Amino acid sequence: MKNTIAICPGSFDPVTVGHLDIIKRAAGMFNKVIVVVMTNASKHPKFTAEERVRMISIAAADIPNVTVESYDGLLADYAALKGAGAIVKGLRAMSDFEYEFQMALTNKKLNPNVETVFLTTNVEYMYLSSSMVKEIASMGADISDFVPEQIHDIIVERLTSERK
């Protein structure tokens, strides 16, 4: 895994402590990690790609080998563009598996030079999802256990302003 560029792709709408845990662990395994905000055709993001990139950049600012970008195209093409050898994804539960397995096989077909590496989520974050964070915050409840501290206020302000 030395000298391999790894990509951590996702919607990150918004980035959670669960995502950040995967990003940190990937940064310990690969010499360079690119976190990339992408479009998931089945989701309608609340935050713009620029907002999501900014939030991840703030949350991951202390990890030296991590950079953050956005890309509006195929992950397999992005990996080729960056010369990446690995795609790192977090797996929370069996319910994630089928979808992630399908994506990994498709990406391998489209770009045979890239391996998908699954990291099992930290058990603490097993239940966590960006959709739950958005729902809880928009109802005015506390999300401080779920999102990185440095971006907590940005998320709360943005999601609660819709109710005012």
Which residues bind to ligand PNS, rule: CB under 6 A?
9-11, 38-40, 43, 74-75, 103, 106-107
> Is there a catalytic annotation at residue 43?
yes
Task: Out of 11, 19, 25, 52, pick the active-site residue.
Answer: 19
Are 30 and 86 spatial neighbours (Cβ–Cβ below 8 Å)?
yes
Stretch (H or E) spanning 55 = helix 49-59
Give least dist CB 35 to ligand PNS, A: 11
> Is there a catalytic annotation at residue 130?
yes
Stretch (H or E) spanning 47 = none
Task: Out of 25, 52, 92, 134, pick the active-site residue.
Answer: 92
112 upstream amide cis, omega within 30 of 0:
no
d(C-alpha 131, C-alpha 133), whole Å: 5
Task: Out of 25, 52, 89, 130, pick the active-site residue.
Answer: 130
Nearer to ligand PNS by C-beta: 95 or 161? 95
> Is there a catalytic annotation at residue 161?
no
Are 6 and 117 spatial neighbours (Cβ–Cβ below 8 Å)?
yes
> Is there a catalytic annotation at residue 46?
no
Give least dist CB 130 to ligand PNS, A: 7
Catalytic residue annotation: 19, 43, 92, 130
